[in-house]
Amino acid sequence: MRILVTRYLHAYGPATPHQFARWMGITPASAVKLFDKLASWLAYVEVDGEPGYTLAGDTPTSHDPHQGIRLLPYFDAFVVAGQQREWLYPGVAATRALTPSGQAGNYPVMLVDGVVGGVWHQKRSGRTLAITVEPLRKLTAAQRRQLDEEVDVLGAIMESTPTLRLGTVSLGAPA
């Protein structure tokens, strides 16, 4: 189990035993015992005043918050990970981008400065890729340019000509 915990924390940490338990599908009590057993491998940290653990030696991070726009696909590991949902899905983002049970990943999201700031959908027709983005707050001119760049990258990856429309996204299960 040490390997599983250390790989989880390396990928998704800092995290709590309860977040690991939710991700792993085990009881929180079992996860707490496991973290206690592995204490020499772990480092206690606080993020925005909240406790968590990371691997010992994995603590150096940038103090600068992430800036910019990113379009993430269904079930992207960043949004599915066991981090504090309220940090990643603030306000209306939780209602718009999580399932009613709180599950992440069922909807593609737009990150704005490192947090969910919108949802999006793509529809392919031949070599055309129609992308609709529903921002959950007003985008600055710089963010709008970054969104255009993200759409161009997505079009290149999908080997298609992308079009972008800002508007309401009818959310549904992955295609």
List pLDDT tens digits, range 26-45: 999 999 999 999 999 898 98
Domain extent at residue 48: 2-55
Backbone angles phi, psi at 86, to 5 degrees: -70, -20
Q: 36 and 91: one domain?
A: no
Instruction: Give the list of residues 6+ apart from residue 159 with CB closer than 8 angstroms, or none.
Output: 127
Instruction: Name the DSSP letter for residue 137.
Output: S
| Number of residues that make up the chain | 175
Q: 162 and 76: one domain?
A: yes
Q: Do the beta carbons of residue 93 and residue 84 sit within 8 Å?
A: no
- Residue 11 tokens, joined: 């990928």
How would residue 175 be classed by pLDDT, with cut points 50, 70 and 90? very low
For residue 171, what pLDDT is reported?
62
Query: What is the arithmetic mean of pLDDT over 82-88?
Result: 73
Q: Average model confidence (pLDDT) for the chain? A: 87
The CATH number for 11's domain is 1.10.10
Number of domains in the chain: 2
Query: What is the arithmetic mean of pLDDT over 84-105?
Result: 86
